[in-house]
Amino acid sequence: MQTRRLGQTDLELTAIGFGTWQFGGRWGGADDSESEAAVHAALDAGINWIDTADIYGQGRAESIVGKVLRARDDDVIVSTKGGVAWEVSDQGLQIRREASREYLTRALEDSLSRLGLERVDIYHVHWPVTGVSAEETIGTLLDLKRAGKIGAIGVSNYDLADLEATDGVGQIDALQNGYHLMRRDIEDGAIAWCKEHGVGVLAYGPLAHGLLTGRMRAGTTFPDNDWRAASELFTDEHFSDRIEAVSELEGLAQASGRTGGVAELAVAWVLRRPEVASAIVGGRSPAQVASLAGWATTPLSADEESRIEEILAGHPGTDIHYSHGEPPNRNADDS
């Protein structure tokens, strides 16, 4: 598969990375053996890097990734995130965002233990936290890098103002934000800032959390243990309009000969930007990930891009904007 350099680092990432958020179970449940098999399938398909986070299943996803890494001899690039603290009490799971020096240092050690690594290739601050300065957050990651605990320094869910606050503190290597053809808030300055500062963009959610797979219909519903059951993206008055747009996009994908359908088209759209080093796509079973590698083979054509814009312009419900990178009705343990 095609690889792309991550910012100014020496990391060459495959254009598609494998995401593990779904291993935490908030997509309607998850089976650890299936999750483990899905990671093996992604690596067998030629994907060379895995993205995870400590909050995904409260360590569950990292433990699964660690088990796979110990079973293989591959040179796998591993990216994880810290910055969401959790506690389990009589009231259930309680989570909060944390980015202090003490917390990030401890969280990284816990992540390394679960992953079975002495060093992680990319470490992201999961969210910016009000009241915690960039000097403290990025300064902590710089110290951890100097200590040999992390390779590349990343931030996640940072908007332009958050990125600008890091100016002068130290070099950031990666920005991991949500980005898909119905969600473009990252284009409102953040991508340009990344280009100017030599920061690679890692796009999560390129399939709009399943919306851009072509498998949903206007009457699609989700079980209570699937976060999408409470997300405005899938439940507001514009959902049917989005489904109609996806149907038209599916027709475009078929006319273009894309065997991966609208999903392949959506990934190609994200990868059309040279600033994007990789698009993160997940799957809960080997069957769901077997074809991922093929989605990065054919670049988006100018005709496809033009037609996509025409389709979206005809469906106002596809103009989605999130505040501070956070989809409506999602909790802090999300990507």
- For the stretch 221-246, pLDDT in tens is 999 888 889 888 899 999 999 999 99
d(CA 38, CA 131): 39
Structure tokens at 154: 């990343």
Instruction: Confirm whether 223 is domain-assigned.
Output: no
Helix (H, G, I), strand (E, B) or coil at 276: strand
Find the catalytic residue in 56, 123, 158, 179.
56
Instruction: Confirm whether 328 is domain-assigned.
Output: no
Count the neighbouring beta carbons within 10 Å of the beta carbon of residue 93: 11
Percent of the chain with pLDDT over 90: 84
Look at residues 21, 7, 6, 94 and name the one whose alpha carbon lies nearest to residue 280.
21
Catalytic residue check, 56: yes
Strand-pairing partners, residue 81, are: 124
Instruction: Confirm whether 157 is domain-assigned.
Output: yes
CA angle (162 as vertex; 100, 123 as ends), nearest 5: 55
CA angle (204 as vertex; 302, 212 as ends), nearest 5: 60
Instruction: Give pLDDT, residue 328.
Output: 46
pTM exceeding 0.75 = yes
Instruction: Confirm whether 156 is domain-assigned.
Output: yes
Structural domain boundaries enclosing 169: 3-210+276-290
Instruction: Confirm whether 150 is domain-assigned.
Output: yes
d(CA 97, CA 54): 12
Instruction: Confirm whether 244 is domain-assigned.
Output: no
DSSP 9: S
Instruction: Give pLDDT, residue 113.
Output: 98
Instruction: Give pLDDT, residue 334.
Output: 52
Instruction: Confirm whether 249 is domain-assigned.
Output: no
- Tell me which residues of the chain have a pLDDT lower than 50: 323-325, 328-332
CATH number of the structural domain spanning residue 170: 3.20.20.100
Look at residues 202, 200, 194, 152 and name the one whose alpha carbon lies nearest to residue 17.
202
Count the neighbouring beta carbons within 10 Å of the beta carbon of residue 306: 10
| Distant-in-sequence, close-in-space partners of 72: CB < 8 Å, separation ≥ 6 | 40, 43
Q: Are strands 16-19 and 276-282 parallel, antiparallel or unpaired?
A: parallel
Q: How many domains does the chain have?
A: 1
Instruction: Give pLDDT, residue 89.
Output: 82
Instruction: Confirm whether 238 is domain-assigned.
Output: no
Q: Residue 150 — φ and ψ, nearest 5°?
A: -135, 155
pLDDT tens digits, 186-224:
998 999 999 999 999 999 999 999 999 999 999 999 998
